[in-house]
């Protein structure tokens, strides 16, 4: 994975505290797996801004990226996500 490039891109958009979770974090990813990132978004970042950043990340990685704002994480999945977290 292109960690430094991802960190730079996220930082340039004001995104803080990026953490991997899901199959990539657990080391059970396979061809076609997406990259799940839990992030702290900057105040005022629009949905359009999130989607544009997600598309930019996907073009760098060549796989689907799921950007998940921590503020919007449902309590029902929080524990499972937190179990996998790896700082980017």
Quote the tokens at residue 12: 């340039």
Q: How many CB atoms lie within 10 A of CB 86?
A: 13
- How open is the CA angle 7-26-42, to the nearest 5 degrees? 30
What is the total count of domains within the chain? 1
Structural domain boundaries, residue 10 = 3-87
Chain segment 41-52, per-residue pLDDT in tens: 999 999 999 999
Quote the tokens at residue 36: 């799940």
CATH code, domain carrying 63? 3.30.460.10
Chain segment 8-63, per-residue pLDDT in tens: 999 999 999 999 999 999 999 999 899 999 999 999 999 999 999 999 999 999 99
pLDDT of residue 35: 95
């Amino acid at each position: 994975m292109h960690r430094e490039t991802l960190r730079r891109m996220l930082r340039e958009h004001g995104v803080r505290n990026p953490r991997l979770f899901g199959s990539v974090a657990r080391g059970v990813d396979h061809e076609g797996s997406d990259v799940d990132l839990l992030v702290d978004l900057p105040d005022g970042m629009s949905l359009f801004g999130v989607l544009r950043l997600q598309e930019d990340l996907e073009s760098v990685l060549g796989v689907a990226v799921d950007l998940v704002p921590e503020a919007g994480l449902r309590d029902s999945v929080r524990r499972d996500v937190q179990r996998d977290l790896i700082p980017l």
